[in-house]
């Protein structure tokens, strides 16, 4: 991480109050005010501190395994007619991009003298990443997880417990990520001084969306130098990523947002989960169907009914099963800088099978949404496309096996 890639510059970064255009801010309970104000005041200085940068980049290299490879997808490219590169976050320690953020925030928490870490998790990937860095750094760790997610992500729950974390089952509401998030907030309010809440995506009150974006910006920075070595240019024509809250997407987009001072040379495509379809009532397509309001501490777009109540999202992939989206994405959408598309459960599963058989890489179900959008791209013949391969598919094997007996996987 270097200040050269300062996300605050340009029209797409955060302002002093924590806004991206009209979205963002910090809508928080009174009791959390001191804790979050301290974070707001200090996070930039702490991130720019030499000692922090050295420790973070050494651990990213020696513990996480960065830089992750940029793989040219030979057989997929042949089939698609454009050059497809995969940014291999699946090869980062713990199997997804989430570790970049968890590690960075845990290092910050130590510097802020917080001894206890809490987090919420959906797919379990953020919980595993958080439990991992807490073990590494000797911090106590409590993970909130919806009861339903605990059932569908059993291997990750086992991992968290093995790593020494306490996993708390949340049985309120839809028993998924949004309820776990509410519970984690309650814990934080009850422990306002000794605890840091490691939010797992570019969501929540300021400074989290900006903080997480900065900690994940290493993804796009690596893509730039890897493309420079592997192609004739250091930027692609298009970058594609799936979005739950939006951290892997912002992590890979950030580097290319401001290129040529506002000239939109690199196209950006974010892919959200349509679930069973946009009209099915069982969807997590926030951009397509959401409206603006305050969710989990920031003003952003989320799925809501006519009374402004959060609507239960649905996606086969636990990591995209979130009713909102980060405020920076809401801004990238409303300013037109980034395109958004949605992909159904079935399209995602088919794309996962396609990548597995074409390249020998089994992607996470979340990632498969981005791949499905790549498959249907038009007008990119001869161009260079980079997709964020946000995670590996081991945790989704049960789902894949179930579907492979129901659909013809070769189509
Ligand atoms: C959590 C997760 C996502 C979604 O989170 P973002 O913050 O939108 O990146 C995507 N892919 C994988 C593999 C995940 O674990």
Contact 64, 104 (CB under 8 A): no
Q: Ligand 1: which of 127, 204, 251, 366 to mutate, most ligand atoms within 8 Å of CB?
A: 366
358 falls in which pLDDT band (50, 70, 90)? Answer: very high
**How much is the pLDDT for 178?**
79
Question: Separation of 319 CA from ligand 1 center, angstroms?
Answer: 5
Instruction: Provide residues with CB under 6 Å of ligand 1.
Output: 96, 98, 123, 125-126, 201, 242-249, 319-320, 364, 366-367, 390-391
What Cα–Cα distance (Å) separates residue 217 from each residue in 80, 106, 221, 256, 411? 28, 17, 6, 10, 35
Dist. CA 320–CA 308, nearest whole Å:
21
- What's the CATH class of domain 65-95+217-404? alpha beta
Strands (E), 262-338: 267-275, 291-295, 298-302
What is the separation, in whole angstroms, between the first and last Cα of the chain?
A: 42
> How does DSSP assign 210-256, residue by residue?
HHHHHHHTHHHHHHHHHHHHHSSSSS-SEEEEE-SSSHHHHHHHHHH
**How much is the pLDDT for 258?**
78
Quick one: average pLDDT of 284-303? 96
**How much is the pLDDT for 1?**
38
29-62+98-213 carries CATH number 3.40.50.1100: yes
pLDDT digits over 315-341, tens only?
Answer: 999 889 889 999 999 999 999 999 999
| pTM of the entire predicted model | 0.95
**How much is the pLDDT for 2?**
36
| Percentage above 70 pLDDT, the chain | 95
Question: Separation of 216 CA from ligand 1 center, angstroms?
Answer: 12
Please determine whether the domains at 29-62+98-213 and 65-95+217-404 fall in the same fold group of CATH.
yes
Angle at 65 between CA 61 and CA 67, to 5 degrees: 70
pLDDT digits over 268-285, tens only?
Answer: 999 999 999 999 999 999
Question: Separation of 232 CA from ligand 1 center, angstroms?
Answer: 30
Residue nearest to atom 15 of ligand 1 (CA): 125
Residue nearest to atom 14 of ligand 1 (CA): 319
Q: Structural domain boundaries of the chain?
A: 29-62+98-213, 65-95+217-404
Question: Minimum mean pLDDT among 5-9, 271-275, 309-313, 368-372: which range?
Answer: 5-9
Dist. CA 365–CA 372, nearest whole Å:
11
Question: Who's near 80: CB < 8 A, 6+ residues apart?
Answer: 374, 375, 377, 380
Q: Which of 63, 5, 4 minimizes the C-alpha distance to 220? A: 5
261 falls in which pLDDT band (50, 70, 90)? Answer: low
For this structure, is 120 an active site residue?
yes
Kindly tell me the number of DSSP H helices and DSSP E strands found in the chain. 16, 14
Check 87, 89, 120, 217 and give the catalytic one: 120
Ligand 1: atom nearest CA of 122 is 1
**How much is the pLDDT for 11?**
65
Dist. CA 374–CA 264, nearest whole Å:
20
Question: Separation of 55 CA from ligand 1 center, angstroms?
Answer: 25
For this structure, is 383 an active site residue?
no
């Amino acid at each position: 991480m270097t200040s050269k890639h300062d996300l605050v510059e340009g029209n797409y970064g955060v302002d002093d109050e924590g806004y991206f255009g009209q979205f963002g801010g910090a809508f928080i309970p009174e009791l959390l005010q001191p804790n979050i104000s301290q974070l707001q005041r200090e996070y930039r200085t702490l991130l720019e501190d030499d000692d922090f940068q050295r420790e973070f980049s050494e651990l990213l290299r020696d513990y996480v395994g960065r830089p992750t490879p940029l793989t040219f997808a030979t057989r997929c490219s042949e089939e698609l007619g454009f050059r497809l590169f995969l940014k291999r976050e699946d090869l980062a320690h713990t199997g997804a991009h989430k570790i970049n953020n968890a590690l960075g925030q845990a290092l910050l928490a130590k510097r802020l003298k917080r001894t206890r870490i809490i987090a919420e998790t959906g797919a379990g990937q953020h919980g595993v990443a958080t439990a991992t860095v807490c073990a590494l750094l000797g911090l106590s760790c409590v993970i909130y997880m919806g009861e339903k997610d605990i059932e569908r992500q059993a291997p990750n729950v086992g991992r968290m417990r093995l790593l020494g974390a306490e996993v708390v089952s949340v049985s309120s509401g839809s028993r998924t990520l949004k309820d776990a998030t509410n519970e984690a907030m309650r814990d934080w309010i009850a422990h306002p001084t000794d605890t840091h809440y490691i939010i797992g995506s570019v969501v929540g009150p300021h400074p989290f969306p900006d903080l997480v974006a900065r900690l994940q910006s290493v993804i796009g920075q690596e893509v730039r130098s890897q493309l420079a070595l592997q192609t004739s240019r250091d930027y692609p024509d298009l970058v594609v990523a799936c979005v739950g809250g939006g951290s892997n997407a912002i992590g890979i987009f950030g580097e290319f947002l401001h290129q040529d001072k506002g000239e939109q040379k690199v196209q950006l495509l974010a892919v959200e989960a349509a679930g069973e379809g946009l009209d099915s009532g069982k969807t997590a397509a926030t951009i397509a169907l959401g409206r603006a309001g305050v969710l989990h501490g920031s003003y952003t777009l989320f799925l809501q009914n006519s009374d402004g109540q959060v609507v239960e999202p649905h996606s086969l992939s636990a990591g995209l099963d979130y009713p909102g989206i980060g405020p920076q994405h809401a801004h990238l959408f409303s300013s037109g800088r980034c395109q958004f598309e949605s992909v159904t459960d079935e399209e995602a599963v088919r794309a996962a099978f396609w990548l597995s058989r074409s390249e020998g890489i089994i992607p996470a179900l979340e990632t498969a949404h981005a791949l499905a959008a790549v498959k249907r791209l038009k007008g990119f013949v001869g161009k260079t496309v980079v997709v964020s391969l946000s995670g590996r598919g081991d945790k989704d094997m049960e789902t894949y096996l179930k579907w492979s007996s129901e659909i013809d996987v070769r189509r």
